[in-house]
């Protein structure tokens, strides 16, 4: 089965999955203050039973303050407890957000989060993560939007300031700001983690050199900021139809001095709560025997679906089950001669971020396409005819949103190491090995490869 045929993605939905996607769009647009039509098949049906409870959740349009401000999160209790299986309390957050939600704030937050993603693909991540339960997917989506805007400030701080912002902070007269800047840059300069190459499924690989981390060397805030920065950058290099990444934890030289549970818990929360369906496979390479007891603790924190994506490899031969030898860096015994080298931010590399005229023009163009996509989605949901033509129109508009985002990108996001090295090129082309990664689809894979590539014979507790 080719990777482009993965189920539950745009262009490959069952009839039932398409209905769920339409229901989630209906619920989402109603929260945005956009009139959403009934599906023709639902006309006259009992909406209490046939659709999620969103329309009756009481969006308060007259509230004009920012729904994502911290005061609407910290210390407030609406009296409704989260679902028993709600690991991260997102149901309670959802209710708190809706109690003061400005529809336009919600709408703007969604489209800022979408970036270059196909909007259907973004919603489908949440549906798959919540086993196609529309209401639970909506709860997760809205809670994630709030996390991005107020908890972590992903786009207007972490990605906007980027590496050059950290460099400026490192020269601050404020001791706290200076420490955070230095700690963030220290991880980049060390090469604690980095993006390079793809696995056999075409997924970008994030290498993590565990031996380079020592507890207490960086502040918790800088570790979290760095983690989100790496994940968000990895998200940028996903090229359709690939929509997940691989993480390779290089455990060479690991000792107990490298173990730090706090950032591990934060990383787990990021992937389970805020970047759903983004992990394709996790490879733990050359873990020593002392890691066995640590893994037993970590595994207990993981969602079973996430835990099932973790594989242990003892040597190069086992690693080759997941990554072609030509794509394994020499540091790990492979044939790829690439070596990590950090290039410092360059003067003037972010000049376009201050060009307000061009940026405003591009933002207005994107806003127009967004409205066209929303209108086409309304028509797609409400019409019983011309479904194929309407979906083709939406696909064309999604592509306009993708290309439009990459035109905007230099005006919104500070340049990264990967822009400076040419891995991320203008227009969103990704080039790891001298060949662009945007057009060519990966080699066909069997079903077991899509779900993490073949299992090794030994179990996690068999590390040595």
pLDDT at 385 over 90: no
Q: What is the mean pLDDT of residues 77-97?
A: 71
Quote the pLDDT of residue 257: 92
| DSSP symbols for 87-147 | TT-HHHHHHHHHTT--HHHHHHHHHHHHTTS-HHHHHHHHHHHTTT-HHHHHHHHHHHHHI
Q: What is the pLDDT of residues 137-180, one digit of tens each?
A: 999 999 999 999 999 999 999 999 999 999 999 999 999 999 99
Quote the pLDDT of residue 386: 84
Q: What is the pLDDT of residues 177-210, one digit of tens each?
A: 999 999 999 999 999 999 999 999 999 999 999 9
Instruction: Compute the Cα dihedral for 403, 225, 245, 328 and give only its sign.
Output: positive
Q: In 3-state terms, what secondary structure has residue 416?
A: coil
Q: What is the pLDDT of residues 401-450, one digit of tens each?
A: 999 999 999 999 999 999 999 999 999 999 998 755 543 333 444 434 44
Question: 160: Cβ–Cβ under 8 A, 6 or more apart, which residues?
Answer: 353, 412, 413, 414
Exposed, middle or buried by CB within 10 Å (0-12, 13-18, 19+), for 286? buried
Quote the pLDDT of residue 174: 98
Q: What is the pLDDT of residues 41-72, one digit of tens each?
A: 665 554 444 344 443 333 344 444 454 544 44
Quote the pLDDT of residue 100: 81
C-alpha 373/C-alpha 93 separation (Å) is: 28
Quote the pLDDT of residue 101: 76
β-pairing, 193-198 vs 245-250, is: unpaired
C-alpha 346/C-alpha 341 separation (Å) is: 15
Q: If you search the block for the tokens 């508009």, which residue do you land on? A: 397
Residue 249 has a CB neighbour count (10 Å cut-off) of: 21
Q: Which of 39, 20, 238, 202 is nearest to 127 (CA)?
A: 20
Exposed, middle or buried by CB within 10 Å (0-12, 13-18, 19+), for 360? exposed
Element (H, E) at 431: none
C-alpha 337/C-alpha 411 separation (Å) is: 34
Q: Which CA distances in Å does 295 have to 208, 287, 300, 322, 460?
A: 16, 10, 8, 21, 8
Q: Which two tokens stand for residue 449?
A: 């490869």
pTM of the model: 0.86
Residue 84 has a CB neighbour count (10 Å cut-off) of: 6
C-alpha 343/C-alpha 421 separation (Å) is: 8
For the chain, what is the mean pLDDT? 87
pLDDT at 300 over 70: yes
Quote the pLDDT of residue 133: 97
Q: If you search the block for the tokens 């400076």, which residue do you land on? A: 420
Quote the pLDDT of residue 441: 37
Quote the pLDDT of residue 99: 87
Quote the pLDDT of residue 248: 98
Quote the pLDDT of residue 69: 47
Q: What is the pLDDT of residues 223-259, one digit of tens each?
A: 999 999 999 999 999 988 999 999 999 999 999 999 9
Quote the pLDDT of residue 459: 44
Q: Which of 357, 251, 361, 368 is nearest to 298 (CA)?
A: 251
- Helix 15-31 and helix 103-114: axis angle, to 10°? 130
Quote the pLDDT of residue 58: 38
E strand segments, 171-299: 193-198, 204-209, 245-250, 279-285
Residue 425 has a CB neighbour count (10 Å cut-off) of: 14
Q: What is the pLDDT of residues 304-359, one digit of tens each?
A: 999 999 999 999 999 999 999 999 999 999 999 999 999 999 999 999 999 999 99
């Amino acid at each position: 089965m080719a990777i482009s045929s993965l189920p539950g993605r745009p262009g490959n939905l069952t009839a039932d999955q398409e209905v769920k996607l339409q229901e989630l769009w209906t619920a989402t647009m109603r929260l945005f203050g956009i009139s959403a039509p009934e599906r023709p098949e639902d006309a006259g049906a009992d909406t209490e039973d046939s659709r999620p409870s969103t329309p009756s959740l009481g969006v308060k349009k007259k509230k004009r303050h920012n729904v994502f401000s911290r005061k609407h999160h910290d210390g407030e209790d609406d009296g409704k407890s989260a679902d028993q299986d709600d690991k991260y309390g997102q149901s309670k957050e959802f209710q708190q957000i809706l109690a003061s939600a400005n529809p336009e704030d919600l709408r703007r937050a969604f489209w800022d989060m979408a970036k270059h993603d196909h909007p259907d693909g973004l919603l489908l991540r949440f549906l798959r993560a919540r086993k196609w339960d529309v209401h639970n997917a909506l709860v997760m989506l809205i809670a994630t939007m709030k996390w991005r805007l107020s908890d972590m400030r992903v786009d207007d701080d972490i990605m906007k300031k980027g590496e050059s912002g950290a460099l400026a902070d490192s020269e601050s007269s404020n001791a706290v700001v200076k420490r955070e800047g230095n700690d963030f840059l220290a991880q980049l300069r060390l090469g604690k983690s980095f993006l390079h190459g793809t696995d056999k499924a075409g997924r970008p690989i994030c290498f993590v050199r565990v031996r380079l981390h020592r507890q207490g060397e960086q502040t918790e805030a800088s570790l979290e900021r760095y983690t989100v920065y790496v994940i968000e950058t990895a998200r940028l290099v996903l090229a359709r139809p690939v929509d997940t990444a691989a993480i390779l934890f290089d455990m060479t030289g690991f000792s107990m001095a490298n173990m730090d549970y706090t950032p591990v818990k934060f990383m787990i929360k990021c992937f389970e709560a805020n970047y759903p369906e983004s992990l394709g496979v996790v490879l733990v390479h050359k873990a020593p025997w002392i890691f066995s007891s640590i893994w037993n603790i970590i595994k207990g924190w993981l969602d079973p679906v996430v835990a099932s994506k973790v594989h242990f490899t003892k040597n190069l031969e086992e690693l080759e089950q997941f990554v072609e030898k030509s794509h394994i860096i020499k540091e790990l015994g492979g044939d790829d001669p690439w070596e990590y080298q950090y290039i410092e931010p360059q003067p003037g590399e972010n000049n376009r971020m201050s060009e307000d005229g061009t940026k405003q023009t591009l933002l207005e163009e994107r806003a127009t396409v967004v409205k066209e996509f929303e209108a086409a989605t309304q028509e797609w949901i409400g019409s019983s005819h011309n479904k194929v033509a309407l979906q083709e129109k939406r696909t064309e508009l999604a592509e306009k949103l993708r290309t439009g985002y990459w035109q905007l990108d230099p005006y919104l996001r500070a340049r990264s190491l990967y822009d400076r090295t040419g891995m991320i090129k203008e227009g969103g082309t990704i080039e790891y090995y001298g060949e662009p990664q945007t057009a060519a689809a990966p080699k066909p894979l069997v079903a077991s490869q899509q779900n993490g590539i073949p299992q090794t014979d030994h179990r996690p507790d068999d590390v040595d």
